[in-house]
Amino acid sequence: MEIRPYKPGKSALTGITDVIKLSSNEGALGPSPMAVEAFRGQGDELHRYPDGEATSLREAIGRRYNLDPSRIICGAGSDELFYNLARAYAGPGDEILYSQHGFNIYPIVAHSVGATPVTAPEKNLIFDVDAILDSVNSRTRIVFIANPNNPTGSYISGDELRRLRQGLSEGILLVVDGAYAEYVNRSDYEDGVTLVDGSENTVMTRTFSKIYGLGALRVGWGYCPTKIIDVLNRLRAPFNITAPSQAAAIAAINDTEHVLLSQEHNRHWLSWLSDQVQAHSNSGLKVYPSVGNFILVQFPDFPGRRASDANSFLARRGIIPRETTGYGLPDCLRITIGKEGEVKYLATAISDFVFSWGKSVK
């Protein structure tokens, strides 16, 4: 009963049929058409159990990311991997550590195995390696870092990530959650593969829910040391990835052109939207720098201008951002980079929201 159930981004607004859903960081361009075709192609085989080991999918991931498929494990979303890592390596009396505005699943995962979730403060909404290391004690079993982080959009460099690993004792598992890794274009960013290769206690997780646009199918994967793969394979449900999901994910990962298009789309519109919103800084709006497929916008603490007011204003236009009160950021909204028309419509709506203040009583 200690679990505060996960609140997904809203997808509907009463009375509005055509909503613009910018609340769940779903890939703006949707999946590769080849993935959709592969998914449909499974229609005649639905009576067959899937390959429980997801062999072809792991091989496709291995080819694409230059990794040994025997050290890859697939999960029903990366979420399933987090749960199984916690089941394997933490329990009552143990602590699971993550940063102040870290991804909301981590505390749920901790409670689900009877462990205690512990947060360490961030600096300017950025993961603070020193604060995390200061929060480690003899009960700490797992440290989760989302890099880039949701909902802040911030990241830490490869050097910082290594410093984190070096500062943690061998008995602590480090989980590097790279759900948004494919979107990052910073030269000092590292996804964690070399860390996994260089240690026995580091795992990197990734997902098909974001840039590959397959959130509906629930496919994630982890790159792990062999001993951890062995443990996770014992814990996971035998047929955890459905056959249509495996087929679609393989097609998606092989369509490198679609991924490039999605990256290019995000690079352009992330920067465009950030600039558009930042142009209202005189009015008290703030955009935090993001390397993911979303931005975090802070609103002024003034009646009629707050994040909750913006949320209602946007809702009247059919736009659904993500409220971030549950992330300890009640003055912010997280907004996913959608299609071109959606991004432009949103930017206009935010301008109109700010403009509407002129009409309100000062």
Task: Name which position in 83, 89, 103, 155 contacts ligand PMP (CB under 6 A).
Answer: 103
Specify which residues 103 forms β-bridges with. Answer: none
Complex with ligand PMP: residue 207 or 274, whichever CB lies closer? 207
Tokens of 226: 């062999």
- Rule CB under 6 A: say whether 79 interacts with ligand PMP: yes
Q: How far is the CB of 150 from ligand PMP (least distance, A)?
A: 3
Q: How far apart are CA 229 and CA 140, in angstroms?
A: 21
Residue nearest to ligand PMP (CB): 77
- ω into 151 cis (within 30 of 0): yes
Compare residues 146 and 172 and give the one whose CB is closer to ligand PMP.
146
Shortest reach from residue 50's CB to ligand PMP, in Å: 18
Residue pointed to by tokens 């205690």: 116
Q: Distance between CA atoms of 10 and 27, rounded to whole angstroms?
A: 16
Residue 27 token pair: 């890939």
Number of H helices, E strands in the chain: 12, 13
Of 26, 49, 27, nearest to 246 (Cα)? 49
179 binds ligand PMP (CB under 6 A): yes
Which residues does residue 143 pair with via DSSP β-bridges, in sequence order?
97, 174
Q: How far is the CB of 82 from ligand PMP (least distance, A)?
A: 7
> How many residues of this chain interact with ligand PMP, rule: CB under 6 A?
13
- Which residue's CB is nearer to ligand PMP, number 148 or number 300? 148
Rule CB under 6 A: choose which of 32, 119, 140, 150 binds ligand PMP: 150
Sign of CA dihedral 176, 236, 71, 209: negative
Q: Is 146 one of the binding residues for ligand PMP (CB under 6 A)?
A: yes
- Listed ranges 39-47, 76-84, 113-121, 275-283: which one lies at the site for ligand PMP (CB under 6 A): 76-84
Binds ligand PMP (CB under 6 A): choice among 23, 209, 266, 311: 209
